[in-house]
């Protein structure tokens, strides 16, 4: 799961980790392809609840950021999966640091990505 961590200055209120609706779509797709859909969806609800993970909804501002990131990548000759462009746009929207295993997020100049290796 790709998770966004909005980091703020110490004077600001801390924000819980969050993920985008695109991440949910990818997870539900994987669950539906597998043989343990109900079990996996229950575990996801538990993780989201325990960690108090918030969902970043896609809106017009996020869509504009998605287009900006996609165009920037295209101009540099880089390409990443379109779902990941949406995830990056959500990260840009909240000003968070993206925690992921997907190295291609390092190609997105508009966000800070921390790639787990």
Stretch 77-93: mean pLDDT, rounded?
95
* Residue 84 · residue 71 · CB < 8 Å: no
pLDDT in the model for residue 113: 93
Domain total of the chain: 1
Whole domain around residue 68: which residue ranges? Answer: 3-8+15-115
- For residue 82, the domain's CATH number is 3.40.50.1010
* Residue 27 · residue 1 · CB < 8 Å: yes
**pLDDT tens digits for range 5-63:** 554 444 445 567 888 888 888 899 999 999 999 999 999 999 989 988 888 989 999 99
Strands (E), the chain: 3-6, 18-20, 54-56, 96-100, 112-115
pLDDT in the model for residue 74: 98
- Does the predicted TM-score (pTM) go above 0.85? no
Which residues face 113 on adjacent strands?
98
The pairing of beta strand 3-6 with beta strand 96-100: antiparallel
Locus of tokens 């669950």: 31
pLDDT in the model for residue 15: 67
Which residues face 19 on adjacent strands?
55
- Of 28, 4, 26, the closest CA to residue 15 belongs to 4
């Amino acid at each position: 799961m790709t998770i966004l961590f909005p980091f703020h200055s110490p004077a600001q209120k801390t924000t819980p980790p969050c993920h985008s609706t695109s991440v949910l779509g990818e997870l539900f797709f994987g669950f539906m392809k597998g043989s343990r859909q109900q079990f996996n969806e229950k575990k996801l609800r538990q993780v989201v609840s325990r960690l108090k993970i918030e969902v970043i909804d896609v809106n017009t501002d996020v869509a504009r950021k998605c287009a900006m990131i996609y165009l920037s990548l295209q101009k540099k000759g880089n390409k990443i999966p379109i779902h990941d462009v949406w995830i990056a746009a959500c990260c840009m929207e909240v000003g968070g640091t993206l925690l992921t295993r997907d190295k291609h997020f390092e190609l997105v100049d508009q966000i800070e990505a921390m790639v787990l290796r």
